[in-house]
Amino acid sequence: MKMKREHRPLLVILAGLFTVLVVFVLVAAFNYRSGVNDLSRSLSEAGTRLAEKLAQHEAHLTALAAVVRMGEQEPSKSVHGLAEAIGAFYPRITEIATIRVDGQQAAKVRYDRPAGPEAEGLGSAGLPALAALGSTAVRSQPGEKQYEIYKLVAPGFYLLMTIDAGGLIADGLLPEDYGYRLWLGENRLVERPSAAKALLDATRSLDVNSATQPLRLEVSRGFRAMELLPPLVILPLVLLLAVAICLLAEYRRVIRAGRQQERRAALLEQETKLAHAGRVNALGEMASGIAHELAQPVAALLSQSQAARRAITLERRDILEQALDANVREAKRAGDILGRMRAYIAGGTSQIETVPIERALAEAMRLAEPDLARRGITVDTVVASGDCMLRIDMIGFQQVIHNILRNAAESLAGQDDPRISIRAEGSNGQAVFTIADNGPGIPSSALPHIFEPFFTTKSDGMGLGLPLCARLIEKMDGSIEATNAGGARFTVRLPLEVSQ
């Protein structure tokens, strides 16, 4: 399907918008991906540091267990000293105690008190669960921020360490705008939501590497629109794209203009060729026309000259004079034809003169009358023009009338009672000449073509008489047409001199 030319700018705009959209999506995807990579890197670093902290808890428990096992009576001073030191350096360790279970009774001694070990009663509530614990166990109460680590020191004797989970990631372990959650099993110990009011969120989680404290760290971050599509990246890109689209549009315009110019040049070349062909054609037409028009005066000159020869032999001075007069007339006519053709070829104006209708017709007829008389053709002439004046090129007009009459005469060959009727009238600023014969008429298939150059139905015809007539009449601002009415009928219209 071909797109209409007027829709093309719309297509360019749509393609531009689509490209901008694709660029936006690519930039956003790139920024999102690198943001998520940062998140994963931070998570992995935080996981490593968290694992180190958990390992510290294990080390403290091992050290405490070793001191407890030394067998000092409870409350032990050595254990208290160590517990105090641990508590001072690690504020997140909020409780260090021993628990001794004896049947249904349990005794707890807290060593984290600065004042000294402190015996504390312990209800029987947690004891069965405690008894089921292995060598090291971790517990936390739902909704609490802390968790407890129990370490079995001797049968029925446990070390307890309570950790404030909030202290584990409080010290800038993760970037400010990251959110995090620290889980122990299903218990969420601590949570910080991510800062941004985000367009998109990303979350990654990690099981902290510890044999005793199975914590899971989850970090999340939001992406604001500005982070995904930073104006400093987007603006130059959009500008670049706009410039590229403008350049493309300009390029297309230049290419199109170039093509149009090529087309125009080709058209011009074609027109020039046609005009040249037309000129050559017209020239050929003209040359044939000259030959055609001169054929008659030359033939007449020949026959009159032969008549003159005979007159000399017969010593008939009168016939000789007649023949010489006719020769002079024909030679003049041939000269006139040549002069008119020369003027026509040179593009000069024909000699327009003002002549009364009657005289114009009489002069034109004079040329044809001897031939018509010889052929035995009756000519009826009616002039109903008053004293109307024609504006014509006299020689051209004679040529037209002569051509029409010659054609009529030729069509009447072999006809009974051959007749030509000529009517001239003038009215409403126009002279109308009607020349009709009683011959066979113009074949209807030929009628539309008789004014075309080289159209003829005669074996010896040239088909130039009527085209020449049409051209001459046109030059005099008139018109000529042909129809059949009995025989052929030609109507010539010419302008009349406008009376002052």
| Sites of contact with ligand ADP (CB under 6 A) | 403, 407-408, 411, 437, 439, 441-442, 446, 450, 455-458, 461-466, 488
3-class DSSP assignment, residue 94: strand
For the beta carbon of residue 469, count every other beta carbon within 10 angstroms: 25
Tell me how far, at minimum, the Cβ of 403 lies from ligand ADP, in Å. 6
Residues 6+ apart with CB under 8 A from 409: 368, 371, 372, 375, 377, 420
The whole-angstrom separation of Cα 489 and Cα 458 is 18
Between 399 and 411, whose beta carbon lies closer to ligand ADP?
Answer: 411
3-class DSSP assignment, residue 214: coil
Between 238 and 462, whose beta carbon lies closer to ligand ADP?
Answer: 462
Tell me how far, at minimum, the Cβ of 436 lies from ligand ADP, in Å. 9
Between 24 and 451, whose beta carbon lies closer to ligand ADP?
Answer: 451
Instruction: Outline where DSSP puts E strands in 359-418.
Output: 378-384, 389-393
The whole-angstrom separation of Cα 262 and Cα 2 is 22
Tell me how far, at minimum, the Cβ of 333 lies from ligand ADP, in Å. 18
Structure tokens that stand for 44 in this block: 């992995």
Residues 6+ apart with CB under 8 A from 181: 188, 190, 191, 192, 217, 218, 220
Closest by CA to 367, choosing from 410, 322, 403, is 403
Between 266 and 485, whose beta carbon lies closer to ligand ADP?
Answer: 485
Q: Are 424 and 433 spatial neighbours (Cβ–Cβ below 8 Å)? A: yes
3-class DSSP assignment, residue 354: strand
DSSP state letters, 16-27: HHHHHHHHHHHH
State how far Cα 417 lies from the chain centre: 76
The whole-angstrom separation of Cα 68 and Cα 65 is 5
Between 295 and 302, whose beta carbon lies closer to ligand ADP?
Answer: 295
Between 268 and 413, whose beta carbon lies closer to ligand ADP?
Answer: 413
The whole-angstrom separation of Cα 363 and Cα 354 is 14
Between 87 and 453, whose beta carbon lies closer to ligand ADP?
Answer: 453
Instruction: Outline where DSSP puts E strands in 75-214.
Output: 93-102, 105-110, 118-121, 136-139, 146-154, 157-164, 179-184, 187-192, 200-207
Q: Which residue number has the CB closest to ligand ADP?
A: 465
Q: Are 364 and 492 spatial neighbours (Cβ–Cβ below 8 Å)? A: no
Tell me how far, at minimum, the Cβ of 440 lies from ligand ADP, in Å. 6
Between 149 and 401, whose beta carbon lies closer to ligand ADP?
Answer: 401
The whole-angstrom separation of Cα 100 and Cα 102 is 6
Between 117 and 463, whose beta carbon lies closer to ligand ADP?
Answer: 463
Between 330 and 437, whose beta carbon lies closer to ligand ADP?
Answer: 437
Between 86 and 435, whose beta carbon lies closer to ligand ADP?
Answer: 435
Tell me how far, at minimum, the Cβ of 409 lies from ligand ADP, in Å. 8
Tell me how far, at minimum, the Cβ of 396 lies from ligand ADP, in Å. 16
First to last CA, the chain: 68
Tell me how far, at minimum, the Cβ of 413 lies from ligand ADP, in Å. 11
Instruction: Outline where DSSP puts E strands in 31-145.
Output: 93-102, 105-110, 118-121, 136-139
Query: Helix %, strand %, coil % for the chain, to 5?
Result: 50, 25, 25
Between 174 and 424, whose beta carbon lies closer to ligand ADP?
Answer: 424
Tell me how far, at minimum, the Cβ of 386 lies from ligand ADP, in Å. 29
Between 249 and 447, whose beta carbon lies closer to ligand ADP?
Answer: 447
Rg of the chain over Cα atoms, rounded to whole angstroms, equals 63
Tell me how far, at minimum, the Cβ of 392 lies from ligand ADP, in Å. 20
Tell me how far, at minimum, the Cβ of 267 lies from ligand ADP, in Å. 34
Structure tokens that stand for 338 in this block: 């040549």
Tell me how far, at minimum, the Cβ of 393 lies from ligand ADP, in Å. 19
Tell me how far, at minimum, the Cβ of 264 lies from ligand ADP, in Å. 39
Tell me how far, at minimum, the Cβ of 348 lies from ligand ADP, in Å. 25
Residues 6+ apart with CB under 8 A from 394: 351, 353, 355, 360, 363
